[in-house]
Amino acid sequence: MTTIKVIGAGLAGCEAAYALAQHGYHVRLYDIKPQSFTPAHSNKNFGELVCSNSLKGNDPYSNACGLLKQEMRELGSMIIECADATAVPAGGALAVDRDKFAGCITQKITSHPNIDVVCEEVKSLPFGEWCIIATGPLTCDALAEDIQKKLGGGLHFYDASAPIVSRRSIDMNFAFVGDRYGKGGDDYINCPLSREEYEEFVSALLSAERAHLHEFEKGEIFEGCMPVEVMAARGEQTLRFGPFKPVGLRDGEGNKYYAVLQLRKENAEGEAYNLVGCQTNLKFGEQKRVFSIIPALKNAEFLRYGVMHRNTYINSPENLNADFSLKSDGKLFFAGQITGVEGYVESAASGLLCAIHMDRKLKNLPPMVPENLCVLGALSAHISAPNQNFTPMNANFGILRAGNEKIRDKKERYAALARRSLEYIAGYKSIIEKE
């Protein structure tokens, strides 16, 4: 039985390890947990979600990340299976109870007869061995330095997580439940602000003291995780057209508001709520002071404050093939956010692709990189196509190959692309399962 190393037990590493184990390979999964943690991690279980508990939209016909999830379901993704099993209400999004989600992943990994978990820090690239590097955006220093040395330099950006507050401490006299446009039932708690309250909040946000970042100060912030204070600095109205937009949100009496902050469930019990879109790098005391300006949060108990951290990724177009293998060593693969795919689902998807491609290599089968008719193929193209200004990429309909038929209506165009994608994936699945 061939032994394969997988370095890193995040979403990408666990997805790859489980898929390869299901194919009959012996997998040695390396991670520093539970003996030690990166600065952003605290849960002893694998597959820990750091920034948010939302895996974004779940509708494959209107949301590209929802389409990616469905593509992964068709190919037997363990990560999406765990997400579906631990979902909490979130309107059209797939959000999870993060503790149960990580527990589900860990149980599947540790109970699999073909997987051995090794609690050990890997400090160098194992050239010449069948291995997947899935150490994520917070790769330990020694391995990060080795990667930088051997792959001609590393790249990085910075992202942030939002605060989480106790449900019991939210003042419902100044809030109401309900999703935007009445979709999804009562999945969100909405905290409205008048014009005066909104302007006071923005003013406090802009004057608040930020946490010292040391080397982080020179980092570039990824747009998808923009700290709320950085957004506010772009203009007083920026938040009203972003995470505080009031469009489609009305209380039971039909009242419209100047701005609205949404809170989303963090766990199945609904005891903790995430401040949607409020990733921040403010000092903890400043977070409490500023967010308490919002009437519904005036007495909020903060269960976790927002933090900012560095995400590291390699120059994949220079170093990786479209199958995520290293150009200089076909046995060595990279998966997850270190490759420049950005997002929970995208990270897991790359792990699934690595497992598919490595399995085919080991069986001496020709490569089967999916075309960019589907999101899996589009992400494969993104990390491998020549690009002098390579930056992380989320799933989006814009990276899919355009359809032959010109459709003006965006909803109809997205639905058509999704139908084509799922039809393609069905054919792709039938081929790889037969061989």
| DSSP 8-state secondary structure symbol assigned to residue 397 | G
pLDDT digits (tens, 9 = 90+) for 236-258: 999 999 999 999 888 878 788 99
Full DSSP string of 103-155: HHHHHHHHT-TTEEEEE----S--TTS-EEE--GGG--HHHHHHHHHHTT-EE
- Would the pLDDT of 84 be above 90? yes
Question: And the tokens for 65?
Answer: 């990340």
- What average pLDDT does the segment 173-194 reach? 86
- Would the pLDDT of 33 be above 90? no
Phi (first) and psi of residue 383, to 5 degrees: -80, -5
- What average pLDDT does the segment 275-298 reach? 95
Domain 3-157+315-434 bears CATH identifier 3.40.50.11540: no
Instruction: Give the count of alpha carbons within 13 A of 39, CB side only.
Output: 13
CB 213 within 8 A of CB 219: yes
Pairing, β 131-133 against β 3-7:
parallel
CB 316 within 8 A of CB 290: no
> How many residues in total does the chain contain?
435
Q: How confident is the model at residue 218 (pLDDT cuts 50, 70, 90)?
A: very low
- What average pLDDT does the segment 26-51 reach? 79
- What average pLDDT does the segment 342-357 reach? 96
Dist CA 333 CA 348 (whole Å): 14
Q: pLDDT higher for 82 or 218?
A: 82
- Would the pLDDT of 47 be above 80? yes
Lowest mean pLDDT: which of 110-114, 122-126, 399-403?
Answer: 399-403
pLDDT digits (tens, 9 = 90+) for 317-330: 999 999 999 999 99
Under 8 Å CB-to-CB from 142, ≥6 apart: which residues?
121, 123, 124
What does the pLDDT read at residue 298?
A: 97
Helix 78-85 and helix 64-74: axis angle, to 10°? 110
Domain ranges of the chain: 3-157+315-434, 164-306
Q: Which helix (H) or strand (E) holds 19?
A: helix 11-22
The structure tokens 């060593």 sit at 329
Q: How confident is the model at residue 215 (pLDDT cuts 50, 70, 90)?
A: very low
Closest CA to 397 of 383, 379, 385: 379
- What average pLDDT does the segment 394-415 reach? 87
Dist CA 168 CA 171 (whole Å): 8
Question: And the tokens for 412?
Answer: 């109809």
Phi (first) and psi of residue 304, to 5 degrees: -155, 135
Instruction: Give the count of alpha carbons within 13 A of 316, CB side only.
Output: 31
3-state percent helix, strand, coil for the chain, nearest multiple of 5: 40, 20, 40
Q: Do domains 3-157+315-434 and 164-306 have the same CATH topology?
A: no
Average pLDDT over the chain, rounded to whole?
Answer: 89
Closest CA to 75 of 433, 335, 324: 433
What residues pair up with 273 in beta bridges, in sequence order? 165, 265
CB 138 within 8 A of CB 39: yes
- Using a pLDDT cut of 90, give the percent of the chain over it: 65
Q: How confident is the model at residue 308 (pLDDT cuts 50, 70, 90)?
A: confident
Instruction: Give the count of alpha carbons within 13 A of 151, CB side only.
Output: 28
pLDDT digits (tens, 9 = 90+) for 123-166: 999 999 999 999 987 787 888 889 988 987 666 666 678 999 98
C-alpha distances in angstroms, 57 versus 188, 217, 278?
Answer: 15, 32, 18
C-alpha distances in angstroms, 207 versus 233, 235, 268, 286?
Answer: 10, 14, 36, 10
Q: Give every strand in the sheet of 54-57, ordered side by side.
A: 54-57, 93-96, 87-88
> 164-306 — its CATH code?
2.40.30
Question: And the tokens for 402?
Answer: 């355009």
C-alpha distances in angstroms, 430 versus 74, 365, 433?
Answer: 10, 15, 5
- Would the pLDDT of 86 be above 70? yes
Helix 64-74 and helix 410-434: axis angle, to 10°? 20
- What average pLDDT does the segment 196-210 reach? 96
Dist CA 275 CA 298 (whole Å): 14
Instruction: Give the count of alpha carbons within 13 A of 290, CB side only.
Output: 27
Question: And the tokens for 302?
Answer: 């903060």
| DSSP 8-state secondary structure symbol assigned to residue 67 | H
What does the pLDDT read at residue 332?
A: 97
- Would the pLDDT of 430 be above 70? yes
C-alpha distances in angstroms, 339 versus 60, 69, 125, 207?
Answer: 24, 19, 15, 36
What does the pLDDT read at residue 219?
A: 52
